[in-house]
């Protein structure tokens, strides 16, 4: 996918790094090597300034006031929606603001639950679940793309099925073909594993879902920041993303939904700003996306996310993908060469982003992470909100290094050397 695209040069990366004030920091007397962007990315001045500028000069409620500040705020807010829509290949009215991707998935699940209780009338039949219907997800999902479906199954009487993994951690697509049946109504899966870093074959899963008329929800949290994303080309019905993983602030995410499906879905949250007419006994709702945006919105955060999207687009998502693919390969190769280190998913023959999780025999991931932190290297430790995946691979936790457009060759070298150093340190002390 990225073979013909030139990755970012070291000089370009150094220029980009100057845009990120936190990357000039030191931790424990060492220059900060930030390799935890898979959890939360850092923010450039353009994003910090966009939120500060709005708060300083235009702060006001959107879609509510008739005064000048309110009109300016509303225009910027909707411009931000259009920017994010273009970034993922959607129409403006197919993007719903949420607090994060977790809320976006819950929005879909609870809206379907409300439809299944009879809300939404005949129009909601397309998304309604009944006892005996099926929801299919996978064993590699982040908990945010598993627990909402567990809850939806419990509320509706639907059956939740889970596509298993092979011994390397790859999805068993042969089993998926058996699990996705005429009774399957929803297929929900991640585009990129937040533990393995592999890019899943969306096309093959979509074909299986389309063959039985099932809806498809794509967790794009680990793909939208790192790969070119076109939800129409992928032919998914829903996709979710989180701003804080793609240079944006916390507290902002987005749901993409096909227009005709959003129009059929009853709201999840209700209250002000999502209605047309209200009496003491009933209400009529606005069309989407406003139907799903009750209450005061995340205005400055949405504007800052649009600034992040503009920044990413200017750098070029193809080049970011190529930059990180090279780092992903280096992490797998370098960490796998260390005796006693097992890189999760190293044997999977799929393209990957710049992320690798590893287990060190006899050393807890928290101890590895603490050793790296003492060297100024920030990584993630634990189960990464993916307990079923870790359980399938026979471990309880791992250490994860995740890169981004501002990651350098020296930082990759540092985390590989640091993992080897951790082994020497703890084995000497044993």
Say yes or no: 344 and 303 in one domain.
no
pTM metric for this prediction: 0.97
Enter the tokens of residue 108: 């879909």
Q: Do 239 and 155 have their domain in common?
A: yes
For residue 42, being part of any structural domain is answered with no
Tally of structural domains, the chain = 2
3-state secondary structure of 217: strand
Same domain for 409 and 297: no
Please report the pLDDT score of residue 3 as a whole number. 52
- Please say which residue of 313, 334, 351 terminates a domain: 313
pLDDT value of position 430: 54
In a domain, 292, yes or no: yes
d(CA 419, CA 198): 21
Q: What positions carry a catalytic annotation?
A: 385
Q: In angstroms, rounded to a whole number, what is the distance separating the alpha carbons of residues 330 and 74?
A: 45
pLDDT along the chain (430 residues), means of 10: 77 98 97 98 98 96 90 96 98 98 98 95 94 98 98 98 98 98 98 98 98 98 98 98 98 98 96 94 95 96 98 98 97 98 97 98 97 98 98 98 98 98 86
Nearest to 140 by CA among 407, 390, 336: 390
Predicted pLDDT of residue 1 = 46
Residues 106 and 220 in one domain: yes
Tokens of 372: 């790296």
Domain that holds residue 194: 49-313
- pLDDT given for residue 210 in this prediction: 98
Query: For residue 252, which phi and psi values (nearest 5 degrees)?
Result: -140, 135
Give the side-chain half-sphere CA count within 13 A for 78: 12
Co-location of 220 and 102 in the same domain: yes
pLDDT number for residue 200: 98
Retrieve residue 151's tokens.
């809850």
pLDDT at position 4 is 75
Q: Cβ(152)–Cβ(133) under 8 Å?
A: no
Per-residue tokens: 85: 């829509």
Cα diameter, the chain: 73
């Amino acid at each position: 996918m990225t073979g013909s695209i030139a990755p970012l040069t070291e000089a370009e990366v150094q220029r980009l790094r100057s845009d990120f004030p936190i990357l000039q920091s030191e931790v424990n007397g060492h220059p900060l090597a930030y390799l935890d962007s898979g959890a939360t990315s850092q923010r450039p001045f353009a994003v910090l300034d966009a939120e500060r500028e709005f708060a300083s000069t235009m702060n006001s409620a959107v879609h509510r006031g008739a005064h000048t500040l309110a009109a300016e705020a509303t225009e910027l807010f909707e411009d931000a929606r259009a920017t994010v829509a273009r970034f993922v290949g959607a129409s403006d009215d197919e993007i719903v603001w949420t607090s994060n991707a977790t809320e976006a998935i819950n929005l879909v699940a609870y809206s379907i639950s409300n439809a299944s209780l009879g809300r939404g009338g005949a129009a909601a039949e397309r998304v309604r679940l009944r006892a005996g219907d099926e929801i299919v997800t996978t064993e590699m999902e982040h908990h945010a793309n598993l627990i909402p479906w567990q809850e939806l199954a419990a509320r509706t009487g639907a059956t939740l099925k889970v596509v298993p993994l092979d011994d390397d951690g790859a999805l068993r697509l042969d089993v998926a073909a058996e699990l996705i049946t005429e009774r399957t109504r929803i297929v929900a899966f991640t585009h990129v594993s937040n533990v393995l870093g592999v890019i899943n074959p969306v096309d093959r899963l979509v074909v299986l879902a389309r063959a039985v008329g099932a809806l498809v929800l794509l967790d794009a949290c680990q793909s939208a920041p790192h790969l070119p994303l076109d939800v129409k080309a992928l032919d998914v019905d829903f996709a979710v993303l989180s701003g804080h993983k793609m240079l944006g602030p916390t507290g902002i995410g987005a749901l993409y939904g096909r227009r005709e499906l959003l129009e059929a879905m009853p709201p999840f949250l209700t209250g002000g700003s999502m209605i047309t007419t209200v009496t003491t006994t009933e209400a009529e709702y606005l069309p989407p996306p406003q139907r799903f945006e009750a209450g005061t919105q995340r205005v400055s955060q949405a504007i800052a996310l649009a600034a992040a999207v503009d920044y990413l687009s200017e750098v070029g998502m193809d080049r970011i993908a190529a930059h990180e693919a090279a780092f992903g390969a280096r992490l797998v190769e370098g960490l796998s060469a260390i005796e006693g280190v097992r890189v999760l998913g190293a044997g999977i023959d799929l393209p990957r982003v710049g992320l690798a999780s590893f287990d060190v025999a006899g050393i807890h991931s928290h101890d590895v992470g603490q050793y790296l932190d003492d060297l100024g290297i920030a990584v993630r430790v634990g189960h990464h909100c993916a307990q079923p995946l870790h359980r399938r691979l026979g471990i309880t936790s791992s250490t994860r290094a995740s890169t981004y457009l501002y990651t350098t060759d020296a930082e990759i070298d540092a985390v590989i050397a640091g993992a080897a150093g951790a082994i020497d340190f703890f084995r000497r002390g044993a």
